[in-house]
Amino acid sequence: MTMQALNPSATLAGSAIGAMFFSIFGGAWVAAWCVQSYGPQPLKVLPIAAIAAFLFMLAWRQFSRNRVAHKAQEATPEAKRSGRLFNIINAVQWIAIFIVGNVLKNMGWQAWFIPAVILIVGLHFFPLAWLFKARRHVAIGLALCVWAIGYPLTLRHGPVNPGGCLGAGLILWTAAVSALRAGFAVQHKPLPPHN
């Protein structure tokens, strides 16, 4: 059993960190949809930024309340190993995006770049699920992969439909809310009765 599993406060901090990432990247995807759909209009992007900031602030609040437990956990050898593996998984993700983007461009299939990025991002959640023992990551990865494959086949204009970005962003925002709800449930869990 990991230290994170033993310490509910550290679990809350970990969920909050995930929610912060999901808030920002979800907002970036939804903003990309907005720009693709309406052009670069700051007033249309402003509500998206506000939602992303609101989710981020809720996650930051949860993290701040559990910062001490997180700091204690980060000092453990297991956490340091997890941090190194996390960095490797993310590096592989970005390298894969770069390589696939160049391959698609050289083959004249640039239209498939967004679905490919969504698929790669979705795939990177599976090793993260194993690394952090977080079943939520499996659901996020599966949702992104299904969306990356499904939306080009079902939406008008296929892979260039702006809805691809919107779907990816909403999946990540849903993941942020899920992480915060899980944290709220742990925080408000009734204490066991004393004998």
Tens-place pLDDT, residues 116-158:
999 999 999 999 999 988 889 999 999 999 999 999 999 999 9
In a domain, 163, yes or no: yes
- pLDDT the model gives residue 185: 59
Residue type, 164: G
Average pLDDT over residues 152-180: 95
Average pLDDT over residues 67-96: 91
Please count the structural domains in the chain. 1
Confidence of residue 194 (pLDDT cuts 50, 70, 90): very low
What is the distance between the alpha carbons of residues 14 and 78, in angstroms, rounded to a whole number? 14
Given a contact cutoff of 8 angstroms between Cβ atoms, the answer to whether 137 and 1 are in contact is no
**Is the predicted pLDDT of residue 80 greater than 50, yes or no?**
yes
In a domain, 112, yes or no: yes
- Residue ranges making up the domain that contains 66: 3-187
Backbone phi, psi, residue 39, to 5° = 85, 175
3-state secondary structure 105-167: HHCCCHHHHHHHHHHHHHHHHHHHHHHHCCHHHHHHHHHHHHHHHHHHHHCCCHHHCCHHHHH
- pLDDT the model gives residue 6: 52
75 DSSP assignment: T
Confidence of residue 184 (pLDDT cuts 50, 70, 90): low
Residue type, 107: M
In a domain, 77, yes or no: yes
In a domain, 133, yes or no: yes
In a domain, 171, yes or no: yes
In a domain, 91, yes or no: yes
Taking only Cα atoms into account, the Rg of the chain, rounded to an integer number of angstroms, comes to 18
The per-residue pLDDT for range 20-58, each reduced to its tens digit, is: 999 999 999 999 999 999 998 889 999 999 999 999 999
First to last CA, the chain: 26
In a domain, 194, yes or no: no
In a domain, 166, yes or no: yes
Given a contact cutoff of 8 angstroms between Cβ atoms, the answer to whether 171 and 119 are in contact is no
What is the distance between the alpha carbons of residues 142 and 125, in angstroms, rounded to a whole number? 8
